[in-house]
């Protein structure tokens, strides 16, 4: 191969790689990630603003006891746990109609044999009644279990939102003390 061609190709690849890095969208600042908009009131440089935001993040974390990123991870873990519990409840109620039908058929056959000497007819009626009753009980149990799962999850989400609001106030107050205008 021609050395000039190889060098030209490598130069083109390097140039293409450097322009794509330059064209990359800028990263969000810490404040924007938290839903807070910050304006440097005294013309602070972007690098200084980034340092000030990091310092205010640490200060707000220490003073509120809340780390929003850790709280977000915890909330996601709680959602996953609630979803798993709902799946377990759904699995536990599967087949309730069939189980109820079996029990109902046995009871119906016994009653049918005693009452009318037709165990088959009694079994059919008993199976139908047993299936309906078992399904209703299973649905009722499932709804109750889901309500018990969702209630703590909703309460935890509300508490997390309240804590995040307190953190944002502290973060904004710190930035305002460093001569920024902060709004959330």
Q: What pLDDT is stored for residue 60 in this prediction?
A: 96
End-to-end CA, the chain:
61
Is 157 part of any domain?
Answer: yes
Q: What is the pLDDT of residue 85?
A: 72
Q: Is the dihedral of CA 39, 44, 47, 52 positive or negative?
A: negative
Residue at 16 is within a domain: no
Please tell me the pTM assigned to this model: 0.51
For 36-79, write each residue's pLDDT tens digit. 999 999 999 999 999 999 999 999 999 999 998 887 787 777 77
Domain count, the chain: 1
Question: How large a percentage of the chain has pLDDT more than 70?
Answer: 52
Question: Are the C-beta atoms of residues 83 and 102 closer than 8 Å to each other?
Answer: no
- Asked if residue 167 belongs to a domain, the reply is yes
What is the structure's pLDDT at 181?
A: 96
From the DSSP assignment, how many helices (H) and strands (E) are in the chain?
6, 2
Q: Please determine, for residue 26, whether its predicted confidence score (pLDDT) is greater than 50.
A: yes
In a domain, 107, yes or no: yes
Q: Is residue 15 part of a domain?
A: no
Q: Is the pLDDT of residue 124 over 50?
A: yes
User: Strand pairing partners for 39?
Assistant: 181
Q: Is the pLDDT of residue 20 over 90?
A: no
Residues 82/153, Cβ–Cβ less than 8 Å:
yes
| Residue 104, both tokens | 């109902």
Domain with 158, as residue range(s), is 28-183
Does an H or E element contain 40, and which?
strand 37-40
Distance CA 40, CA 18 (A): 30
């Amino acid at each position: 191969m021609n050395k000039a061609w190889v060098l030209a190709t490598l130069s083109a690849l390097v140039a293409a790689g450097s322009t794509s890095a330059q064209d990359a969208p800028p990263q969000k600042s810490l404040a924007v990630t938290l839903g807070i908009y910050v304006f440097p009131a005294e013309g602070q440089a972007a690098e200084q603003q980034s340092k000030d935001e990091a310092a205010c993040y640490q200060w707000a974390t220490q003073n509120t006891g809340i780390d929003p990123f850790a709280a977000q991870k915890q909330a996601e873990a709680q959602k996953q746990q609630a979803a798993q519990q709902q799946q377990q409840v759904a699995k536990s109620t599967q087949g309730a109609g069939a189980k109820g039908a079996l029990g109902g058929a046995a009871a119906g056959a016994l009653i049918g044999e005693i009452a009318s000497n037709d165990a088959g007819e009694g079994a059919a009626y008993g199976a139908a009644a047993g299936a309906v009753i078992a399904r209703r009980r299973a649905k009722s149990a499932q709804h109750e279990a889901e309500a018990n799962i969702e209630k703590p999850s909703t309460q935890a989400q509300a508490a997390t939102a309240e804590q995040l609001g307190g953190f944002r106030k502290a973060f904004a107050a710190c930035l305002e003390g460093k001569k920024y205008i902060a709004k959330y």
